[in-house]
């Protein structure tokens, strides 16, 4: 089995690369989704958040993520507390996904903040998806984000250089979806099987 870390700046095309790997047969897990699920109603994470932040973060019995985001935005202590609740749960879900792999299965773990969370030791192979900034803007604006939102998200993330420094391979996604698919197929057909052999 091979465990791949998939990262990249917002709007670079990570999710699309994840989808393409899934179509080829990889098990794809998204760290952001695990983080959202970690505080769903009925979970231990939910109880911890409500006991620390209080009922004011609830709306119709569920945690209102927008309210929670506002609470931690300008309060570093609260942010660290929230991270200390979410991170261990996400980490344990990730490890369970690794444990569940059989034979030659490939796990692709989509983790936008791979550099920021110093997670590089968890993976056999790290891919960073990069894309020219003007194209990222164009694609994200088409997805409904404002320039301000895009700017603040980009400013809060590691840089392309920092991601490249820990990546085994950088996918440049400035072209068409067809070109992206060919690159993902090349990785699936030649690079990952070679890694399987080297590990096995
Ligand atoms: P990320 O997960 O890195 O934030 P996404 O995979 O969501 O990025 O891609 C951002 C947007 O750009 C999405 O709407 C996606 O459909 C689109 N996109 C990604 N790659 C391409 C491409 N090669 N050609 C056209 N649109 C693309």
Residue whose C-alpha is closest to residue 37's, from 78, 77, 96, 80: 96
pLDDT digits (tens, 9 = 90+) for 115-124: 999 999 999 9
Mutate to test the pocket of ligand 1, among 15, 20, 173, 176 (most ligand atoms within 8 A of CB): 15
pTM equals 0.94
- How high does pLDDT run on average in the chain? 96
**Secondary structure of residue 13 in the 3-state scheme:** coil
Instruction: Tell me which residues have their CB closer than 6 angstroms to ligand 1.
Output: 8, 10-16, 139, 143, 173, 175-177, 180
Domain that holds residue 117: 2-199
Question: How many CB atoms neighbour CB 162 within 10 A?
Answer: 14
Judge whether 166 and 99 are in contact, CB under 8 Å: no
Nearest-angstrom CA–CA distance, 104 and 102: 6
Q: Bridge-partner residues for 63, per DSSP?
A: 58
- State the distance from the centre of ligand 1 to the C-alpha of 70, rounded, in angstroms: 27
> Which pLDDT score, from 0 to 100, does residue 73 have?
85
Distance 19 CA to ligand 1 centre (A): 11
State how many domains the chain has: 1
pLDDT 10s digits, 97-147: 999 999 999 999 999 999 999 999 999 999 999 999 999 999 999 999 999
Which tens digits make up the pLDDT trace of 139-184? 999 999 999 999 999 999 999 999 999 999 999 999 999 999 999 9
Output the CA torsion 153→154→159→163 (10° steps): 60
CATH at residue 136: 3.40.50.300
Per-residue CA distances from 33 to 76, 93, 112, 168 (Å): 23, 11, 11, 24
Atom 21 of ligand 1, residue of closest alpha carbon = 177
């Amino acid at each position: 089995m091979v465990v791949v870390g998939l990262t990249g700046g917002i709007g670079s095309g990570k999710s699309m690369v994840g989808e393409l790997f899934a179509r080829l047969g990889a098990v794809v897990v998204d760290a952001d989704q695990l983080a959202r699920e970690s505080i769903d109603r009925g979970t231990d994470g939910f109880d911890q958040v409500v006991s620390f932040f209080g009922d004011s973060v609830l709306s119709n019995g569920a945690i209102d993520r927008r309210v929670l985001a506002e609470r931690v935005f300008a309060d570093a202590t609260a942010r660290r507390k929230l991270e200390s609740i979410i991170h261990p749960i996400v980490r344990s879900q990730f490890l369970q996904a690794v444990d569940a792999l059989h034979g030659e299965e490939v796990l692709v773990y989509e983790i936008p903040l791979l550099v920021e969370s110093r997670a590089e030791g968890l993976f056999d192979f790290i891919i960073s998806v990069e894309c020219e900034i003007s194209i990222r803007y164009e694609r994200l604006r088409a997805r409904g984000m404002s320039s301000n939102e895009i700017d603040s998200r980009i400013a809060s993330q590691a840089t392309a250089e920092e991601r490249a420094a820990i990546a085994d391979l950088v996918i440049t996604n400035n072209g068409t979806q067809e070109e992206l698919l060919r690159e993902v197929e090349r990785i699936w057909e030649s690079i990952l099987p070679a890694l399987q052999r080297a590990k096995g």
